[in-house]
Amino acid sequence: MKNVLTSFLRGTDRRALSALSLSLVAGAVLQGIAFALIVPIARALFAPEPRVAWPWIAALVVVAAVQSVLHHRSVPMGNELGAQLVTTVNRTVSQRISQLPAHQLGAARSDRLAALDSSAIVVLMGLPAHVLRPLVAAVVTPMSVIVIAVFAAPAAAMLIAVAWIVSLVLAFAAARMLTATTEPDAAQWLERVRSWPVQPPAGAARRISSIVLPAAGEVLLWRSIELLLCGAMAVSVFVVTDGDPVTAVALILLSALMVRPTTEAALLASTVLNSREVLRNVGELLDGDPGAQQDWPEHDDIEFAEVGLAVGQVPFGFRLAARSCTALLGGSDGIRLTLAELATGNLAPPSGRVLVGGTPIADIAPGEVERNVHWVGPADPTSDELVGLPESEVALRAAQRMRATDSTTLSESDRACFGVLRAFGRAPRLAVVDLTSLHAVDSELDELVAEFARERTCLVLPPADAGAPAYAQRLVVEDLSGKIEARS
C-alpha cells in the first residue's frame, strides 16, 4: 500500500492536504477541550448545593460551534482531496499499465482493473472526508484531554495517559488481527478453478488465521474501549478522587466522553477494511516491471533463442527473417498459438528469449509494440470505416463484399476476411494471422492474406488440417512427447 500512498502524495495538492489535516486536528483538539469542560459543569451540577454552570455550558456551546464550523468546512476539502485521490490513483494505474509489456497484461491484471469500478471509486473518494475525521479524532481528542488534565489534575492526567497508551496498543493489536489474512481476489480464485478440487479443505491453521484472528480483532477493538472505561471508573472511584465523589463522577463522565471518538472509529472498522481492500488492489495494479522501454528495431527479424515452454523441456530455437511470411504448421493449435503469442510478446517464455532485431521483445516500449505488432483473427464488423486498404483488386473486392453483407449473418470465414481487411489500416510491421478457428480457407481469404503478408513480417496459422499456403515459407512444429522442434 506504500506505493499507492506515494503516488497519491506525489500527485496531490500538498496545501490542500495540509489544510485538511490541520482542520481535522484542530476539530479533534476542540472536541477534547469541549469534553474537558464537562468536569467543571459536572462538579457544579452534582455539588451538595447543585447549580447549573451556565458560563461553562456557554463556553462548551461556543467551542462546539467552532468545532462544527471546522467540521463543515473540512468536508468540501475532504471531498476535493477524495476526488484528487481517485483521479491521481487511477491515472497512475493507467500510466503503469501502459508501460507494462503485453505479457504482464494478462487476465489477472484485467480482473484487478475491473475491480476498480464505481463502488471502489466511491469508497476511495469517501476516505478523506468521512473516514479520516473519526480516525484522527480517535487519536487526537484523548491526547488534548490529557494535555488539559496535566494543568488541572496531573495525577489524573498521568493515569489517563497510561490508559490512552494501552488503548492505542490494543487498537494496533486489533488492527493487526483484522488484517492478518486477506481473501483471494477474483483473479486468484479464478486461477484456482482450473485445477480440481477448487478449494483445498480448510486446515486448522487456516481457520485460525482467517476466522479467529479477525473475530478477536473486532471484539478487542470494541470491548477494550469498554474495559478501559471500567478501568477509568475504578481509578476514579478508588485512587484519584481521594474521597471526593463529585470529582470522581466528573472524571467518570470525562472518561465516558473521551472514549466516544474511539467508539465512532471502531464502528467504521468495516468501512476501513473495505478501503484497505481497494488500496490493496490498487497496490497490486501498480506492481510489475516496465522493462527497458526501447524503440522498435529497424531490422525486425524474430529469433527464438533457446526457448523452453515448460520446466525441464528441451529448449528450441528458430529465426523468422524480417519482412517474410511463414506458415506455422503441425503440432496442435495450442502449441502453434503459444509460439505466435511468444513471437508477439503476449507471453513470456519460461526459459530462453524471444528477440526482435536482437532486442528482447519484453524490453521494447509497449507503445512501440502496440504500433508495430498486430494479431489478426476473425473479427466482428464495427461501424468504423475500413481504412488503409491497398489498391489491389482482391482487397477492394473483399471490402466491397463485406460492406454489402449483412453483418449479422457473417460466417467465420467472412469474419476472418473482415479481420484482415481491418488490419491493413493498422499497418503493423509484425503480424500474426490466426485462422485456427476455420475449418478451411477459401480462395478469396487466401489471396487477401497473401496481399496482407507481402509488406511485413507475418506468421500465418492455417486451420489444423489445411496445408501451407503457397505464398508462405513452411515452419513445421513437432510437439510429440513434450519435445518441440521447428523445422523449415
Partner 1 sequence: MSGDGIGWRVRTSLVLEALGAVTTVASLVLVVEVCRRLLGDSGGSPAVLVVSAVAVVLFGAAVQFVGRVLSRDAGTRTREALRAGVAFRLRAALPAGALHASWREHGTTLGRDISSVGVMVGRATPEFVSAVLVFVLSIGYLFWVDWLMALVTLLPILLGFGVFGFISVRYAKEMKVDYEANVSALDSARPVLPLGERVGQAGTRASVAARTLRAARELTVQTDRFGEYFRQRIGELLSGRALAEIAFAPLTVLVFVLCGGGLLVQAGWLPAVDLLPFVVVGTGLAAPLLAITYYLEEIGEGKLAATRLGAVIAGTREEPEPIEGLTVPETGVLTVVAADPRDATRVVATTSTQVPADRICVVDVEPAVVLGEISAYIADGRPAEAERCARIARVHDLVAATPKGYESIVDIDVRLSPAESQRLALARALAADSRLVVLDARALPADVLADAVAELAPKTAVLVVTPDTAGVGTGEVRVVVDGHLAESGTHPVSAIAEESR
Report 408-467 residues binding partner 1 (CB under 8 A).
Answer: 408-412, 432, 434, 436-437, 439, 461, 463-465
Q: Could you give the CA distance from residue 212 to residue 412 in angstroms, rounded to a whole number?
A: 55
Q: Are 229 and 256 in contact (CB under 8 A)?
A: yes
**Three-state secondary-structure class, residue 197:** coil
Site membership for partner 1, residue 169 (CB under 8 A): no
Among 16, 57, 157, 158, binds partner 1 (CB under 8 A): 57
CB of 200 to partner 1, least distance (A): 10
Nearest residue (CB) to partner 1, 356 versus 394: 356
Q: How is residue 297 written as a grid cell?
A: 528495431
Q: Could you give the CA distance from residue 3 to residue 8 in angstroms, rounded to a whole number?
A: 9
**Three-state secondary-structure class, residue 352:** strand
Please list, residue by residue across 200-216, b when 16 or more beta carbons sit within 10 angstroms of its beta carbon and e when fewer do. Answer: eeeeeeeeeeeeebbeb
Query: Smallest Cα–Cα separation from 280: which of 183, 210, 359?
Result: 183
CB of 391 to partner 1, least distance (A): 28
Nearest residue (CB) to partner 1, 83 versus 386: 83
Where helices occur in 179-268 by DSSP H, the ranges are 186-193, 204-207, 213-235, 245-267
Site membership for partner 1, residue 335 (CB under 8 A): yes
Residues of span 15-54 touching partner 1 by CB under 8 A: 31, 34-35, 38, 41-42, 45-46, 50, 52, 54
- Give the side-chain half-sphere CA count within 13 A for 248: 15
- Interface stretch with partner 1, choices 1-9, 261-269, 357-365, 441-449 (CB under 8 A): 261-269
Q: Could you give the CA distance from residue 221 to residue 277 in angstroms, rounded to a whole number?
A: 19
Among 152, 162, 239, 267, binds partner 1 (CB under 8 A): 267
Give 248-253's long-range contacts (Cβ < 8 A, gap of 24+): 249/42, 249/46, 250/38, 250/39, 250/40, 250/42, 250/43, 250/46, 251/39, 251/156, 253/38, 253/39, 253/42
Residues of span 131-160 touching partner 1 by CB under 8 A: none
Site membership for partner 1, residue 186 (CB under 8 A): yes
Among 39, 93, 329, 430, binds partner 1 (CB under 8 A): 93
CB of 468 to partner 1, least distance (A): 18
Q: How is residue 166 written as a grid cell?
A: 494501552
Site membership for partner 1, residue 121 (CB under 8 A): yes
Site membership for partner 1, residue 6 (CB under 8 A): no
Among 211, 292, 387, 396, binds partner 1 (CB under 8 A): 211
Q: Could you give the CA distance from residue 89 to residue 35 in angstroms, rounded to a whole number?
A: 38
Nearest residue (CB) to partner 1, 334 versus 467: 334
Q: Roughly how many angstroms between the first and final C-alpha of the chain, as a whole number?
A: 51
CB of 426 to partner 1, least distance (A): 11
Among 29, 116, 356, 421, binds partner 1 (CB under 8 A): 116
Site membership for partner 1, residue 242 (CB under 8 A): no
Site membership for partner 1, residue 234 (CB under 8 A): yes
Among 198, 204, 205, 470, binds partner 1 (CB under 8 A): 198
CB of 393 to partner 1, least distance (A): 26
Q: Could you give the CA distance from residue 134 to residue 275 in angstroms, rounded to a whole number?
A: 15
Using the 8-state DSSP alphabet, how is residue 294 labeled? B
Backbone angles phi, psi at 68, to 5 degrees: -65, -40
Site membership for partner 1, residue 293 (CB under 8 A): no
The gap from C-alpha 141 to its chain's centroid, in whole angstroms, comes to 33
Site membership for partner 1, residue 239 (CB under 8 A): no
**By CB neighbour count within 10 A (0-12 exposed, 13-18 middle, 19+ buried), where does 468 fall?**
middle
Residues of span 379-408 touching partner 1 by CB under 8 A: 408
Nearest residue (CB) to partner 1, 83 versus 158: 83
Among 13, 370, 380, 385, binds partner 1 (CB under 8 A): 370
Q: How many residues lie near partner 1 (CB under 8 A)?
A: 140
DSSP string, 434-488: E-TT-S---HHHHHHHHHHHTTSEEEEE--TT----TTSEEEEEE-GGG--EEE-
Nearest residue (CB) to partner 1, 394 versus 430: 430
Query: Smallest Cα–Cα separation from 43: which of 197, 254, 234?
Result: 254
- Interface stretch with partner 1, choices 105-113, 292-300, 388-396, 467-475 (CB under 8 A): 105-113
CB of 149 to partner 1, least distance (A): 18
Among 24, 39, 97, 486, binds partner 1 (CB under 8 A): 97
Task: Look up residue 396 and give its amino acid.
Answer: L
x-marked contacts with partner 1 along 294-333 as a string, rule CB under 8 A? ----------------x--------------------xxx
CB of 206 to partner 1, least distance (A): 9
CB of 267 to partner 1, least distance (A): 4
